[in-house]
Amino acid sequence: MIFTKSKSKVVTVLVHVLAWAVFGMLLFFFQPLSWNITLPYQLWIKQNIIFCLLVVAFYLNSEVLVPQFLLKNKTVVYLLIVVGVAAIMVFLNGYVDQWLKLPELMDAAFHKDGPPHRHHHPHSEWEMGMIAPMIGTCALVLGISTSIAVMEKWQKDRLIHQEMEQDKISSELSFLKAQINPHFFFNTLNNIYALTLVNADTSRKAIHQLSRMMRYVLYDTQNSTTRLSQEIAFIKDYISLMQLRLTDVVKIDFSSPASLKDQAIAPMIFLPFIENAFKHGVSATQPSNINIAVKQNNNTIELEVVNTIIKEQSNNLEEASGIGLNNTRRRLDLLYPGKHILTINENTAENIYSVHLTLDLS
């Protein structure tokens, strides 16, 4: 980030130097050379002095006047000061002319092939002829300066806003993830507690699986993304752990791509949907089914979860799912804006609850 900002500043400085070089060449060198006369060296001194004064006026306007007055809604004061700056530039232009005796020198250059006209006044002619171009040049330079200053302020505000949004998203995602993890472990520990009352060997196996899953959550998901292969392995461990406490009346089917293209994905983004199916879609006595499928098509990942609705456990599955599904919706909105489709259907007539999530990982 520091390197990028430094590089950006260097590029900005180079652009300014190049712009001033082109501007100076066109305005102060190309125009005099087009007069096709022998120019006195004093003219080049004057042109360089005026050029430096315009540079000072440009940055005085962009760095001081615009931030302190225009951007603080002091428009009238700003305009008065700008007019004053332009007037000072016109005055200094005339003063430099007199100091370098340019009216006489330029009159001699233009009329070197013959005597000056009678009643010719080189002072007034040269000075009056320079006022309009000087005013136009000042207006151009100050106008460009104001435009650039306002645009840079807008870009800076936009970058600050984006950084604040990113910080907000990072904080919110950390908070959401912190909520999801205890929610998951709370349910899993309840399952293991039930197993200890039935079979000690099975409970030891369950504890081992849970420790492996905790290692994944605590260490492998600290970054904003994880590998798709790791996420699928975590899902398999979770399903295996849940199966330990289920009876034969529950049928579970899980499928994943045989040839997986490993990609980066948000950690534990699938878990709440699968957890919800086990929480509300299985029964110890009633026949029930859970079908889970992960599909991959180039950069698109699909998760399909279909489970039986066990009515006595919940009348409204999405409401009863609580923290998990609500926070996952929010995580999807933050992590994959415009790149995800989530469809949840509850068919009470056929006692089927289905979730279809599509993620674009490109």
Encoding tokens for residue 17? 């130097």
Note whether 130 and 216 are same-domain residues: no
Q: What is the pLDDT of residues 241-295, one digit of tens each?
A: 888 777 788 899 999 998 888 999 988 889 889 888 888 888 777 888 999 999 9
354 strand-pairing partners: 306, 345
- Residue 3 is predicted with a pLDDT of 44
Statement to judge: residues 231 and 141 lie in one domain: no
**Neighbouring-strand partners of residue 289:** 251
What is the structure's pLDDT at 294?
Answer: 95
310 belongs to a structural domain = yes
Q: Which of 248-262, 285-299, 313-327, 339-353 has the lowest mean pLDDT?
A: 313-327
Whether residues 150 and 267 share a domain: the answer is no
Q: Which of 13, 9, 24, 19 is nearest to 54 (CA)?
A: 24
Number of domains present in the structure of the chain? 2
Q: What is the pLDDT of residue 351?
A: 83
- Provide the pLDDT for residue 35: 63
Q: Are residues 223 and 150 in the same domain?
A: no
In a domain, 192, yes or no: no
| Gap between the Cα atoms of 200 and 32, Å rounded | 99
Residue 175 is assigned to a structural domain of this protein: no
Q: What whole-number percentage of the chain has pLDDT above 70?
A: 78
Please tell me whether residues 27 and 75 are part of one structural domain.
yes
3-state helix, strand, coil in the chain (%, to 5): 65, 15, 20
- On whether both 237 and 353 belong to a single domain, the answer is yes
* Cβ contacts of 67 within 8 Å, gap of 6 or more: 149, 153
In a domain, 270, yes or no: yes
Among 142, 163, 184, residue at a domain's last position:
163
- Structural domain containing residue 24: 2-163
Task: Say which residue the tokens 């804006």 belong to.
Answer: 337
Judge residue 267's burial from the number of C-beta atoms within 10 Å of its C-beta, 0-12 exposed, 13-18 middle, 19 or more buried.
buried
Strands 264-265, 352-360: parallel, antiparallel or unpaired by DSSP? unpaired
Is residue 339 included in any domain, yes or no? yes
**pLDDT number for residue 211:** 86
116 and 224 both lie in a single domain:
no
pLDDT in tens, 59-101: 899 889 998 998 888 989 999 999 999 899 888 888 888 888 7
Higher pLDDT, 123 or 339: 339
pLDDT (tens digit per residue) in 185-205: 776 788 788 778 777 888 888
User: What is the reported pLDDT for 210?
Assistant: 83
**Are both 27 and 108 inside the same structural domain?**
yes
pLDDT given at position 30 = 60
- Same domain as 138, residue 248: no
Confidence of residue 10 (pLDDT cuts 50, 70, 90): confident
- Half-sphere exposure of residue 293, counting CA atoms within 13 Å on the CB side? 11
pLDDT over 90 (residue 304): yes
Mean pLDDT of the chain: 79
d(CA 228, CA 331): 17
- Torsion-angle region of 322 (φ positive above 0: left; ψ -120 to 50: alpha; else: beta): left
Identify the weakest region by mean pLDDT among 53-57, 109-113, 272-276: 109-113
Start-to-end C-alpha separation, the chain: 24
Q: pTM for the whole thing?
A: 0.54
Q: Verify that 253 and 126 share a domain, yes or no.
A: no
Band of pLDDT at residue 305, cut at 50, 70 and 90: very high
- Domain end position, chosen among 139, 163, 187: 163
Residue 177 counted as domain residue: no
Please indicate, yes or no, whether residues 202 and 159 belong to a single structural domain of this protein.
Answer: no
Q: Is residue 184 part of a domain?
A: no
Q: What is the CATH number of the domain that holds 253?
A: 3.30.565.10
Where does a domain end: 137, 163, 189? 163
Domain assignment present for 139: yes
State whether 154 and 219 are in the same domain: no
Check pLDDT > 50 for residue 122: no
